Chain A
Amino acid sequence: MHEMSIAMSIVDAVDAKARAEGAVRISLIELKIGKLAGILPEALRFCFSAAATGSLAGQAQLVIDEPDGRGRCSDCGHEFSVDFYYARCPECGSLRIVIVSGEEFLIQSIIIDEEGE
């Protein structure tokens, strides 16, 4: 279950950032995890609450944006949606497809509280 160590990386990163910003708690974390990134958002949510215990993100809400996979044909330039790393271009049949989105794996932003209570 790599989602656990990924949840821990996220907690470490946001906790450090929030502390540097003088926060007392993180109320929300925005992630962008493309559908081709190899992460199950549900599993990540499940692990996250355990990983975040005792950190500033202990009560944080997770908002996960999941961009769809999109590929561009290197032969004819056609862009189309993909749900896998390989695909055949629906226009010209080429297999030389470059993934243009869906592999994102980012911590985008956090909302922090700066005051107690």
Chain B
Amino acid sequence: MCDTCGCSTEGEAVLRMPGKTGGHIHMDLKSHSHEHASGDHPHDHNHDHPGSRKVLLEQDVLQQNNLLAERNRGFFEARNIFALNFLSSPGSGKTSLLEALIPALQASTPVAVIEGDQQTTNDADRIHALGVPVIQINTGSGCHLDAMMVNRAIRELPLPDGTLLCIENVGNLVCPAMFDLGEALKVVIISVTEGDDKPLKYPNMFHESDVCILNKTDLLPYVEFDALKCRQNAMQVNHHLQWFEVSAKTGAGMAPLQEWIEHKLKDH
């Protein structure tokens, strides 16, 4: 049930904008209207061929999502928007990282954020406090964002030319990797409290990503986590991975990451 208006939205996604009262939009994402075509044409029973036949599709299961992702990508290209899709397990620090990055980047580039979460607007409220446009997508029972949700969200967000659009995906290392949103790059975040074998346990995520950020390095002295081994494991799965080690909390390592993003913003 939607906690804003109380209507039934089991499993449906909802858009909300912090700072705008009453503004929430239900997204009927799954076009599951299987109503039968109104009987305006009689069935043409052709008894010359057997009643059943094979029809070839040979289409990607995610074709619908991928087509929409391409539309999002076209929209981003037309407006010179650089979109990053941030992926991680829950709590590795995606929102904290955005909170650390945005104030620095905002000076030179317009920034906007799409926050994906199953239920709350906590993350969007944190981003809203930074003074950048943000929209929350509550996925309900869905454990990842898809291209349709992003398509709806970008229609509601002010996105001037040249915007850096940060999309914080739902905290989950499995499915978000399968869904192209139309982003320029996927950024996977892993924190030192998670185990250095994560890249091997969730290879799809690391295989699909362009950048990996190891966060919470301020905790390295207190946990058993081998940063070098983690990096080697990640590189085995994907040798093109760009690697950063940061602490969103202390700011350590943030400067190179910020410079890298600024550089990418210029040449994308």
- A residues at B contact (CB < 8 Å): 1-2, 5-6, 8-15, 17-19, 21-22, 24, 27, 31, 33, 38, 54-56, 84-86, 95-96, 105-116
Assess whether B177 is in contact with A38, with CB atoms less than 8 Å apart.
yes
* A105 and B57 form a contact (CB under 8 A): no
Q: List B57-107 residues whose CB lies under 8 Å from chain A.
A: 57-65
Assuming the contacts A38-B204, A56-B34, asked whether A9 and B53 have C-beta atoms less than 8 A apart, the reply is no
Known interface pairs A9-B62, A106-B61; A2-B52 also in contact (CB < 8 Å): no
Closest chain B CB from A44 CB (angstroms): 10
A2 touches B174 (CB 8 A): yes
User: Could you say which of A24, A31, A85 contacts B204, with CB atoms under 8 Å apart?
Assistant: A85
Residues in chain B near residue A56, CB distance under 8 A: 34
Could you mark each residue 132-172 of chain B with 1 if its beta carbon is under 8 Å from any beta carbon of chain A, else 0?
00000000001110100000000000000000000000000
Contact B59 A55 (CB under 8 A): no
Contact B62 A114 (CB under 8 A): no
Does B211 touch A at the CB level, under 8 Å? no
User: When chains A and B are docked, how far (Å) is the Cα of A111 from the Cα of B59?
Assistant: 15
Bound-complex Cα distance A112 to B52 (A): 5
Q: Are A110 and B57 in contact (CB under 8 A)?
A: yes
Question: Which single member of B34, B58, B236 contacts A95 (CB below 8 Å)?
Answer: B236
A50–B167 alpha-carbon span in the complex (Å): 31
A-B contact count (CB 8 A): 108
Report 26 cross-chain contacts, Cβ distance below 8 Å, ordered by A residue. Answer: A1-B143, A2-B143, A2-B175, A5-B30, A8-B30, A9-B64, A11-B32, A12-B31, A12-B64, A19-B37, A31-B61, A38-B178, A55-B34, A56-B34, A85-B238, A105-B61, A106-B58, A106-B59, A106-B61, A107-B59, A108-B58, A109-B54, A109-B57, A110-B55, A111-B53, A112-B52
Interface residues of B toward A: which range? Answer: 35 or more
A33: chain B residues within 8 A (beta carbon): 61
Knowing A2-B178, A55-B34, say if A85 contacts B207 (CB, 8 Å).
yes
User: At the interface, yes or no: B229 with Cβ under 8 Å from chain A?
Assistant: no
- Of the candidates A55, A86, A108, the one whose C-beta lies within 8 Å of that of B236 is A86
B30 proximity list for chain A (CB < 8 A): 5, 8, 12
Apart from A9-B64, A86-B237, list 12 A-B contacts with CB within 8 A. Answer: A2-B143, A5-B30, A5-B144, A13-B63, A17-B55, A54-B32, A55-B32, A84-B203, A85-B207, A96-B239, A106-B57, A106-B60
Q: Which residues of chain A come closer than 8 Å to B146, judged between CB atoms?
A: 5
User: How far is A50 from B175 in the complex, measured between Cα atoms in Å?
Assistant: 19
- Nearest-neighbor residue (CB-CB) of B59 within chain A: A107
Residue of A nearest to B45 (CB): A115
B228 within 8 A of A: no
Q: Which residue of B lies closest to A114 (CB)?
A: B51
Knowing A85-B203, A113-B52, say if A13 contacts B61 (CB, 8 Å). Answer: yes
CA–CA, A38 and B100, complex, Å? 33
* A-chain residues with CB within 8 Å of residue B236 when the two chains form the complex: 86, 95
A2 to B53 Cα, complex, angstroms: 31
Q: A105-B60, A107-B59 are in contact. Are A27 and B52 (CB under 8 A)?
A: yes
CB-CB under 8 A from B177, the residues of chain A are: 38
Does the CB pair A109–B56 fall under 8 Å?
yes
- Across-interface contacts of B20 in A (CB, < 8 A): none
Residue of A nearest to B176 (CB): A2
Chain B residue nearest in CB terms to A58: B34
- CB-CB under 8 A from A22, the residues of chain B are 44
